[in-house]
Chain A
């Protein structure tokens, strides 16, 4: 068996609660309380749960965007927690993230060219403006936008197009893992379908792995190979997608599946 792209063991993230006039710590919010998961190469791990169950915190702690309280993280066999900030910055190009609200995650004062191209220069993938331009055009083409949009600003695009730009920014660096935090939740169903298809196509063509967070179980079933169900900071069930949906074991998973409104 090959090494998984991301392997997380015993991950914990506690947020301290301060109280009293001296602001001493009186307790902690157990946002993520000891979870284990691993994402095999080229697979999609779905993460489901209700709002406030720690999905986003878990994902962010798992790629060390926030410092975890405890646990071990291995990205392609290398320990993420033992890296210094320089190594970590170099590694950032292999792990990218797409967020829920595309408009909020694009800088309104930067053109699409600047938004997508900035990281290319920073990580030394391109060395001059011509190469940068060429690269960004290719990326736009991959996410299904025409190249004459390159000098436009985010507000000139619709929500679906903005999300395409965010995905373009993520894949521009040729990452190995993309964390999608509710990436399709803010979109209308017809646009959501376009974006889901795009993500699946890119996964095949670029051999990507995804950590896909969503509260929409139908979306998870469509895209994920394996699913972990989070409840109050803990994983209550971890299973292959088909098995989980056909035969849920944990009471919470059953309740979650039963509450989804059925089409017929």
Chain B
């Protein structure tokens, strides 16, 4: 078994809004390995992005309170580092790419200026060396005539190229971990395919560990090795990508799959999940999914739900009482199946 590059244990983040305290990341556990991709999936507002920001130490404080738990990287807990120490790790060891390439590039500086800044800050390169480094970074992400693009402003470039520039910037210091928050959501499918391909080749070349945040199951299937499904701040299911797609063990995961229109054939009416995601103000007791769950039982309504191991596979777990092997659950379990 490979040792994980980054270990996250019992990570919780809370927001204070007036007198109320909301838990927006609730007891999350996961590992990142070299050369592997972990995908975090979930609907908007489920805490995907906040998990990423917690890892990077970039939470908006306030309203965020100091996160609890451990983020173990190179035998140190990132949560205990000072801002100055964190600044050295951020960008050089752990880099992040955001969803909207337009708003993450500074519109009044050229691409070159912004890339050179990274080289100066993290790599101690100056003058021609820094420019050379920036040019190489652009070439590495497949941008043609890189030297000319260095003097372009963000508005002169297309969305796909801008996202490539963001990737180039993130990878300049050769980080070990790349956090990509919805990197292709703002892009067209053809451009998305190119960017995903680029991620794959870069991962192979550099043995990158990628934490990929997305809501697109197609992207997950294409990119990920492991998947974590999040719902209202909790990780409700975790599995190898093949296991999850073969047998979604949590009713919410199943619901996500059934909501997807298929490109390969035309189904009848879709089977959406009933109701809507509860707000953090009114989190249901017990299993947080039970008001929307077609399988809800009496024991789902209160208390903590345990993590159950699915099909005897150690790395496939789901937070759902249906897998507790009691008679009531065993009766309902056969219905938990993805229609082909």
Report A's interface with B, CB cutoff 8 A: 50-51, 158-161, 188-194, 196-197, 200, 215, 217-219, 221-223, 241-242, 245, 255-264
Say whether, besides A190-B259, A221-B263, A262 and B44 are in contact (CB < 8 Å): no
Say whether, besides A51-B188, A188-B215, A264-B221, A197 and B269 are in contact (CB < 8 Å): yes
- Min CB distance A177 to B, Å, is 22
Say whether, besides A158-B276, A215-B189, A259-B193, A189 and B260 are in contact (CB < 8 Å): yes
State the CA gap A179–B266 with chains docked (Å): 22
What are the nearest 5 A-B pairs in CB distance? A261-B218, A193-B272, A259-B193, A222-B261, A193-B259
Q: Which residue of B lies closest to A201 (CB)?
A: B269
State the CA gap A200–B270 with chains docked (Å): 10
State the CA gap A159–B277 with chains docked (Å): 11
User: Given known contacts A50-B188, A193-B260, A263-B221, what 20 new A-B pairs fall within 8 Å (CB)?
Assistant: A50-B190, A158-B277, A188-B43, A188-B44, A188-B215, A189-B215, A190-B272, A193-B271, A215-B189, A217-B189, A221-B266, A222-B262, A245-B264, A255-B190, A258-B193, A261-B196, A261-B218, A263-B260, A263-B262, A264-B221
5 intermolecular pairs with C-beta atoms under 8 Å apart: A158-B277, A189-B43, A189-B260, A245-B264, A258-B193
**Interface check B245, CB cutoff 8 A:** yes
Say whether, besides A188-B215, A189-B215, A260-B218, A242 and B43 are in contact (CB < 8 Å): no
State the CA gap A200–B188 with chains docked (Å): 26
Contact residues in A for B216 (Cβ distance below 8 Å): 261
**Interface check B84, CB cutoff 8 A:** no
**Interface check B50, CB cutoff 8 A:** no
State the CA gap A242–B273 with chains docked (Å): 27
State the CA gap A257–B258 with chains docked (Å): 21
Contact residues in B for A160 (Cβ distance below 8 Å): 276
- Min CB distance A228 to B, Å, is 17
Q: Which of B217, B255, B270, B271 contacts A263, CB < 8 Å? A: B217
Number of interface residues of B (CB under 8 A): 36
Q: Which of A190, A245, A264 contacts B43, CB < 8 Å? A: A190
- Whether the pair B222, A261 counts as a contact (CB closer than 8 A) is yes
- Min CB distance A237 to B, Å, is 15
Contact residues in A for B255 (Cβ distance below 8 Å): 190
**Interface check B281, CB cutoff 8 A:** no
- Whether the pair A197, B261 counts as a contact (CB closer than 8 A) is no
Contact residues in B for A222 (Cβ distance below 8 Å): 261-262, 266-267, 270
- Whether the pair B218, A262 counts as a contact (CB closer than 8 A) is yes
- Min CB distance A75 to B, Å, is 28
Contact residues in B for A158 (Cβ distance below 8 Å): 276-277
**Interface check B256, CB cutoff 8 A:** yes
Q: Which residue of B lies closest to A159 (CB)?
A: B44
- Min CB distance B189 to A, Å, is 5
Residues 168-193 of B contacting A (Cβ, < 8 Å): 188-193
- Min CB distance B194 to A, Å, is 8
- Whether the pair B259, A189 counts as a contact (CB closer than 8 A) is yes
- Min CB distance A215 to B, Å, is 6
State the CA gap A191–B270 with chains docked (Å): 11
State the CA gap A261–B190 with chains docked (Å): 10
**Interface check B336, CB cutoff 8 A:** no
**Interface check B219, CB cutoff 8 A:** yes
Q: Which residue of B lies closest to A255 (CB)?
A: B190
Q: Which of A192, A219, A259, A262 contacts B192, CB < 8 Å? A: A259
B97-139 interface bits toward A, Cβ cutoff 8 Å, 1 = contact, 0 = none: 0000000000000000000000000000000000000000000
State the CA gap A222–B264 with chains docked (Å): 10
Contact residues in A for B218 (Cβ distance below 8 Å): 260-263
- Min CB distance A185 to B, Å, is 10
| Residue in A197, A200, A222 whose Cβ sees the most chain B Cβ within 10 Å | A222
- Whether the pair A190, B273 counts as a contact (CB closer than 8 A) is yes
Q: Which residue of A lies closest to B245 (CB)?
A: A264
Contact residues in B for A257 (Cβ distance below 8 Å): 263
- Whether the pair B263, A193 counts as a contact (CB closer than 8 A) is no
Residues 41-59 of B contacting A (Cβ, < 8 Å): 43-44
Contact residues in B for A256 (Cβ distance below 8 Å): 189-190
Contact residues in B for A264 (Cβ distance below 8 Å): 221, 245
Q: Which residue of B lies closest to A194 (CB)?
A: B272
Say whether, besides A193-B272, A261-B222, A221 and B188 are in contact (CB < 8 Å): no
Q: Which of A161, A196, A215 contacts B261, CB < 8 Å? A: A196
- Whether the pair A218, B270 counts as a contact (CB closer than 8 A) is no
Contact residues in A for B271 (Cβ distance below 8 Å): 193
- Whether the pair A191, B272 counts as a contact (CB closer than 8 A) is yes
Contact residues in A for B261 (Cβ distance below 8 Å): 193, 196, 218-219, 221-223
Q: Which residue of A lies closest to B44 (CB)?
A: A188
Contact residues in A for B260 (Cβ distance below 8 Å): 189, 193, 218, 263
Q: Which residue of B lies closest to A48 (CB)?
A: B189
State the CA gap A121–B126 with chains docked (Å): 68
- Whether the pair B269, A262 counts as a contact (CB closer than 8 A) is no
Say whether, besides A221-B266, A261-B219, A262-B221, A192 and B188 are in contact (CB < 8 Å): no
- Min CB distance A105 to B, Å, is 19
Q: Which residue of A lies closest to B255 (CB)?
A: A190
Contact residues in A for B189 (Cβ distance below 8 Å): 50, 215, 217, 256, 259-260
Q: Which residue of A lies closest to B197 (CB)?
A: A259
